[in-house]
Chain A
């Protein structure tokens, strides 16, 4: 049960129940769709970028608790940040959920996002945690492709 509590921390359960920035903004100028064919998670990430700063971030779609909470926390974390910081955050998040042992430097840089550190004990769930980030990255680079976890 302890690994499970690590995975499903209360912050994650809360963001799953009440996802933040769960909407389709009217003035977004970037958007990308992400699919996780393994479990049927589908989401769309919307970004508003002005002068290389993410001024708004939102998402729609459906997915498991991990992917929904990850999308929700991600939109909160990137809003108001310049593009290069967002890119660094993406790298940091990826390291957090995939690498062992946990690096204190990465954890402190990520703030609230560190609640996803339990994911690394569940390798098949890493894709759930990273789907929103890959999708956001696709929107950021505006390559028009559907991001997938495969």
Chain B
């Protein structure tokens, strides 16, 4: 079955508008994806008829709100094929999920002289939390290098797994390059040495179904807003036995069993990690987003996005002086590039006048920019509502760039 993008486009009301007089061509879903009507409606409906605080009231509305909130946890479990819903922790996003692991698992298990292993292609959110931890614990942050195509050099990665490595944290998919990492192999190599693995799945889940049970990873993180849900919500999946052994992240209401000034006892997982009133409606909207993506045929979508990537790559290669940054054999539908003599920021401004939204800058991955010797790139990223026509519009826009810059 082929994926019907024209039908999917109709679900996204924001796409029906003009920007600077031109139809909107949205090519920045890797930064944040647009929301289908189903998600927007679920949030409105929830506020209109079911809203109350959760896990507290004995009254009807609170029970409805709690049910809707917890139903999303079960959807997220199903989405990731986790064993148990209590292994799903709601957080504000991938950044908070990684910080949570660094500050709880990390602070408990990493000490003086130990090592944390990440890769050269990580987003700042999978670098800085570990730097903070290493600084505090006098541990070393080790960086597995990438090759000229933007693929992880597996031999080097394996060499960096040492008896002092306490955790491995790797992007499932690189945000700046689109590289898909061989995460199953990474997990196996680490587990052979008894090292747990965190996978940053923020860029993976919008494009493929993830199965944490078969990947056998210890932690998996992703954000709702990249998978067509609202911003401000994300998931930390953790293996139950690890989560149970970890100390709480934040203290407060909701995460406790009993509190006295002498001693506080905590709830079990997942609530131990969910202090305070969460983004309840956001979680409900996230549930609708998960329903939306789970209703799609993952194979048809993958084939569709592969075609978009191939088409965009082919077309961009026709432009003189254009250099693609990130050409790994396994990629998601992301094209990052620089044009000789034109700064990405100028490209972005000119494309915007054509109604084309692309990301320009370092994509929160400055070490990746350094690796390729560029200060910034232009990144066009595709999602299920993009079409070959969008690639044609982008090409025409890049023609305008040449017109202005000569």
Binding site for B on A (CB under 8 A): 1, 3-5, 7-8, 13, 17, 38-42, 62-66, 68, 122, 124-125, 128
B353 within 8 A of A: yes
Asked if B361 and A38 sit within 8 Å, CB to CB, the answer is yes
Asked if B350 and A64 sit within 8 Å, CB to CB, the answer is no
* Bound-state Cα–Cα, A59 to B349, Å: 25
**Given contact pairs A1-B353, A4-B353, A64-B343, A39 touches B404 in the complex (Cβ within 8 A):** no
Kindly list the 7 A-B residue pairs having the minimum CB-CB distance in the complex, ordered from nearest: A64-B343, A40-B375, A64-B345, A40-B376, A39-B345, A65-B346, A40-B362
| Cross-chain pairs A/B with CB under 8 angstroms, 6 sampled | A4-B349, A13-B405, A38-B361, A40-B376, A63-B343, A65-B343
Instruction: Sort chain B's interface into a size bin.
Output: 20 to 34
Minimum Cβ distance to chain B for residue A22 (Å): 15
B14 within 8 A of A: no
Asked if A64 and B361 sit within 8 Å, CB to CB, the answer is no
Partner of A125, one of B341, B349, B361, B404: B349
Interface of B, helix, strand, loop or mixed by DSSP: helix
Which chain B residue lies CB-closest to A8? B404
Binding site for A on B (CB under 8 A): 341-346, 349-350, 353, 360-362, 366, 369, 375-376, 400, 404-406
* Bound-state Cα–Cα, A8 to B349, Å: 11
* Bound-state Cα–Cα, A27 to B343, Å: 31
* Bound-state Cα–Cα, A13 to B369, Å: 25
Asked if A122 and B349 sit within 8 Å, CB to CB, the answer is yes
Asked if B375 and A128 sit within 8 Å, CB to CB, the answer is no
Minimum Cβ distance to chain A for residue B163 (Å): 38
Residues of A within 8 A of B375 (CB): 39-42, 62-63
Minimum Cβ distance to chain A for residue B143 (Å): 20
Q: A39-B343, A40-B376 are in contact. List 7 more A-B contacts (CB 8 A).
A: A4-B404, A7-B349, A39-B360, A39-B361, A39-B375, A40-B362, A65-B342
